[in-house]
Structure 1
Amino acid sequence: MKSAVTAGSLRPGRKASSLLAEFKAFALKGNVIDLAIAVVIGTAFAKIVDSLVKHIIMPLVSLVFPAEQGYLGWKLVIGAKEVPYGLFIGEVVNFLIIALALYIFMVKFLGFVMKTKKEEPTAPLPPTKEEQLLGEIRDLLKQQRA
């Protein structure tokens, strides 16, 4: 029984360098770097919004609907089980703020930018060779009629 693997077919150094070269080409593409930057900025933004919700907005909401532990204490008790709906409401508010920020940025701001780019007047294109020839023929015909 012969082995399918021969001595020359396995070259770990060559395969590793090829894999490394392919990964380098992939990782250094502009889109991948842009995506990585967007993920880092998005994560940082989510932490800021999370802090805003937990430390400012929900404590203010807790003033309207007081509980012993603020909104964290809002629970529905069913038998021996507790359903912490206050935490859920906090996460919903968190989501809504992020969704609103994305909407404002993506739809309104980028829409405004795109509209301004469309409204910029562009210089008319110079006539093509064919259009120039047609114009000359028209002018010659006008001269012949006159």
Structure 2
Amino acid sequence: MLSGFRNFILKGNVVDLAVAVVMGAAFGAVVDALVKNVLMPLIAALVGSPNFDSFAKVTINGNDLQFGVLLTAIVNFVLVAAAIYFVVVAPMNHLIERRNAKLGIAEEEPAADPAVTLLTEIRDSLVQR
């Protein structure tokens, strides 16, 4: 039982996963700083408030419904997603395309759906009659 655990821990995938978690946490701090210190102040300059917590606050029977807090969370999520896309995903896709072009690697076309292929063959056989 312990030898199985030892083998699991020593596998390369576990080490890679541990490194990815640590790097993800560090990158999360960078993205959080970008959103809180760059993007949200820009929104505050446009809207007049650094967050939307005080917007759309409704009181029903003494209970506060704070829709503004939800709106702030949604805006933060969209900003984080945009920051990750434009800072990481888009540049990496561009680098991969440049590398593939330099190496002469063509993009693989997706395999045709068997149902579409069969329907095409049926159509073609009907046209030949």
* TM-score bin (small chain): 0.5 to 0.7
Give the aligned length.
99
TM-score (norm 1): 0.56
Query: d(CA) in 1 for partners of 2:104 and 2:40?
Result: 42
Matches of residues 1-146 of structure 1 in structure 2 within 5 Å?
19-67=1-49, 70-79=50-59, 80-83=64-67, 84=69, 85-118=71-104
TM-score (norm 2): 0.62
Query: d(CA) in 1 for partners of 2:86 and 2:10?
Result: 32
Gaps of 5+ in 2: 106-129
Structure 1 runs of 4+ aligned residues shifted over 6 Å read none
Cα shift at 1:88: 2.4
- Bigger Rg, which one: 1
> For the Cα contact (< 8 Å) 1:71–1:87, is it kept in 2?
no
Change in Cα spacing, 1:59 to 1:66, as seen in structure 2 (3 Å) is: same
Gaps of 5+ in 1: 1-18, 120-146
Change in Cα spacing, 1:116 to 1:21, as seen in structure 2 (3 Å) is: farther
Superposition RMSD in Å: 2.2
Change in Cα spacing, 1:86 to 1:34, as seen in structure 2 (3 Å) is: same
Q: Kindly, what percent of the aligned residue pairs are identical?
A: 28
SS in 2 for 1:78: strand
Q: More relative contact order in 1 or in 2 (CA 8 Å, sep 6+)?
A: 2
- 1:20-43 Cα distance to aligned partner (Å, 9 max, x none): 221221222222212221221122
